[in-house]
Structure 1
Amino acid sequence: MNNMWGSMEQFSHIYWPWPIAIYLFLAGLSAGAIMIALLVKWNKHEDNTNSIWDAMVKAGAITGPIAISVGLLLLIVDLGKPLSFYWLMLKYNFVSVMTLGVLILCVYTPISFLFAMIIFEKEIENSKLLSFLSPITKFIRSFAHLAKYVEYILMILAICVAMYTGFLLSAIQKLPLWNTPILPLLFLVSGFSSGIAANILVGMAFFKGSLNKDSIKYLLVLDLRAIMFEIPVLIMLFLGLHFAGGQAAEAGVQAITHPTYGMMFWIGVVAIGIVSPIVIAATALKNHAYRPVYIVLNCFLILIGVVLLRFFIVYAGQICTGL
């Protein structure tokens, strides 16, 4: 038997620490940022190829590859032998969720950088430091449909990355809070929501010149829908544990009543990450009003909630085992 999952005694302590939680957050945020950038681009720019790129597209194009790069760096460092990480890319086990995840990330990460190069083509051409990348962007532009295929592939990969982080945990059968089919869907929805928040913040902070208020309003509505969808997903997660009975049901109760992780869930995830944005949307941003201070506050609260959701799942999953 594989000793990694053979005994539950090891789970009296945290063996997957904070870098894993941050990696899961950054991977979801990266995927969400890319998905949002593509959705805005397809919705706002398809009929006008000469328009200035919307701030939300630029924000997603730069946030996506940076977030996944930082996340992967944290993951490599947490391995304990960071200089040996390349073995993950040389030895494959195609029935392993981790292997499939590595393969997806190996394709997703360079394509996300390629997408950023396409979006920032003019900036690259005018930059002495990055001008060496111009031939790549010009080559892609020389083929009318190639850039579009890159976008379609990237969208599929972004969805896979967002869900893969959930599959990675759900494959561990000995931990009830992780071993649930709802987790990939929860990570997809929350990653999508965090991507919206991150794109709005980055767009408003760094790309004011191409800021499109209509896009921000469009994303605020989309984010509210994502949050409203996240609520029943969370309910299904704990109902699934409850109806599974036994150890799983006990683990669910332990998680939401734990003195530390229970507070993290109810105050951090629910109150800050879900209820507060809904209240702001229903009051300060009612009728899709464009009020920058409240928009920024709304986005920060969403990001805090998603970060704490990852920490809750990672930490409570290891501590609250139903035993």
Structure 2
Amino acid sequence: MGEMTRLMITGATGFVGSAAVRAARARGLKVVATYRKQPLPEWAGDTGILAVKVDLAQDPAGLASAMEGVGAVIHAAAHLGGDAAAHKADTLRGTAAILDAAPGTARIVLVSSIAVYDTMRLTPGDRLDESAPLEDPDHARDAYTAAKLRQEDMVRSARPEAWLIRAGAVYGPGRTWNALMGFWASKLHVQIGQTGELPLIHVDHLADVLIRAALAEPDGIQAVNALDDDRPSRARFQAAHRRLTGWPKLVLPVPFGLWLGFVRLLKPVSARLPGLFVEPILRARLMPLVYPNTALRHALGGKDIDSFEAMLARSVRGAA
């Protein structure tokens, strides 16, 4: 591709996108930062950043103009909730617009998710790496998973080469807790399982991965799981979080196997129940697994800034 003159980051005011903008500027890269609604963050005054307010799915002319001179696109803009219509309108149409507008020489880096894997075909203690089976987008466990699978398929259809960065659960300042621990019953936290690695990645580590991918040639369509080197167990995460924040104060530990058996008894009425009472969602979020990041480090290098406990402490303090 030659020397990159400009890097576009979509969803640049979001949690991941904003971190990617900071990481790009730390490397001296000029950035086209697209956003739709959110107010601009602290980087707005940086002369190396061109902030472009554009609706990816609704303004093809504005998007095409912003793409001029772009050597790579980190596509982080996406709907994060469970609304299938919003995923179609925002995530999928936005992705189609990016692929249509991007110059043929521009490298595509899609921010995907480890949610794409089919954990119904795994068992407790298995390794979940890039060889693990994927969900079927037509029968995915939820709208978010289906959208991420379809995003990946769109990139495969449009480009012979691209990066699919399957991010784990992203944490950082303002987002120290996650949905991979259990659920809350008022002030009581029901923690399902103590073992298995949490597939976490600090937002600054993910930003570094995305910039490295934007600067590196992929080997065809190259999918890698973006996860920290230091991945805590649920017990270790809970202990560190309680020590740093004081909560959760009240915890009811429940073995994963016991909860899984209970959920299977509820299968006849599962359509009316929340996520962790539905087996596919339960297994995807809470089944104890091992999450190696060997492929990530082999393909893109890099390493964690610090240990999990140190990165969580930085996050609690609000340090970026």
TM tier, smaller: under 0.3
Decide which structure has greater strand share. Answer: 2
Task: Say which one has the larger Rg.
Answer: 1
Decide which structure has greater helix share. Answer: 1
Which structure ranks higher in relative contact order (CA pairs < 8 Å, sequence separation ≥ 6)? Answer: 1
Q: Name the TM-score, length of structure 1 as normaliser.
A: 0.26
